[in-house]
Amino acid sequence: MTATSKATLDQAHARVFDLDVMSLRELNQALHSLAPGSNETAWEVLNPKGNHSVAVGVDQPVSIDVRGSVGYYCGGMNSGGAITVHGSAGPGVGENMMSGSITVKGDASQYAGATGKGGLLIIEGNASSRCGISMKGIDIVVHGNIGHMSAFMAQSGNLVVLGDAGDALGDSIYEARLFVRGKVDSLGADCIAKEMRPEHLELLQGLLDRAGVTGVKPSEFKRYGSARTLYNFNIDNADAY
């Protein structure tokens, strides 16, 4: 092992963690130990090799470049960090994100952005099933396609999909907004296509701008959301219980 592959503060002020040399716990502990206003604002993680929980619980506005593919829960609970995964992400990337951003250069596995309360999650490849499940305010932009049961019970926030959506999109959705540019295999219970009004086109343009998407117009998307028929118990359905 060379000294440079250990965690060092290098010339470019990026603090480098090589997970072939350091433990995941050391990385996450170092991130959690950052004091507000710290000058260590640029981090680089080498050899993640599918490890779980890389950069979970970040709560300072630092940028973290992860060079490779990660396993479960990368960037979970992120609060203010700008995390970029230069590879693909396993299940639960950005789960319960509060604020900040996570960009996945490759694909994301199931339940990307699950229960997220804020911040921006960008998947440059495809996302798998249950993308944005139970989202609570997060914005998610997927350049490719999303799998089945995405935005299940989504409560608030925006899910933007440049490609196609799988079966049962938005099943039992509350007030999240779903924008899909391609085809939707099927809509889940109580999810319907909705009119794209000027305020939605404006909102969507803002999301595309924040996600760095160019050459795509908001008018190419359809909007989906809740029909709000499941909000209250319907006495006519009593026989079903």
91 binds another protein (CB under 8 A): yes
71 binds another protein (CB under 8 A): yes
76 binds another protein (CB under 8 A): no
110 binds another protein (CB under 8 A): yes
* Amino acid (1-letter code) at residue 175: E
> For the chain, first and last CA: distance in Å?
64
Interacting residue with another protein among 18, 44, 107, 171 (CB under 8 A): 107
Interacting residue with another protein among 17, 19, 45, 51 (CB under 8 A): 51
* Minimum CB distance to another protein, residue 73 (Å): 12
Integer Cα distance of 64 and 17 in angstroms? 10
Residue 86: CB atoms within 10 Å: 17
Number of residues lying near another protein (CB under 8 A): 17
* Minimum CB distance to another protein, residue 67 (Å): 11
Residue 139, SS3 per DSSP: strand
Spatial neighbors of 121 by CB under 8 A, at least 6 apart, are 93, 94, 97, 101, 102, 104, 112, 113, 138, 139, 140, 141
113 binds another protein (CB under 8 A): no
* Minimum CB distance to another protein, residue 100 (Å): 24
Burial 32-44 (b: 16+ CB within 10 A, else e): eebeeeeebbbbb
How far is CA 77 from each of CA 7, 117, 171, 212, 230, rounded to the nearest angstrom? 24, 9, 24, 23, 30
* Minimum CB distance to another protein, residue 41 (Å): 29
228 binds another protein (CB under 8 A): no
**Closer by beta carbon to another protein, 61 or else 182:** 182
Residue 134, SS3 per DSSP: coil
Interacting residue with another protein among 5, 14, 50, 67 (CB under 8 A): 50
96 binds another protein (CB under 8 A): no
Q: Which residues ranging from 136 to 195 are in contact with another protein (CB under 8 A)? A: 147-149
How far is CA 212 from each of CA 78, 146, 201, rounded to the nearest angstrom? 20, 19, 16
Integer Cα distance of 60 and 63 in angstroms? 9
134 binds another protein (CB under 8 A): no
* Minimum CB distance to another protein, residue 82 (Å): 23
72 binds another protein (CB under 8 A): yes
90 binds another protein (CB under 8 A): yes
Interface contacts to another protein, rule CB under 8 A: 49-51, 69, 71-72, 88, 90-91, 107, 109-110, 128-129, 147-149
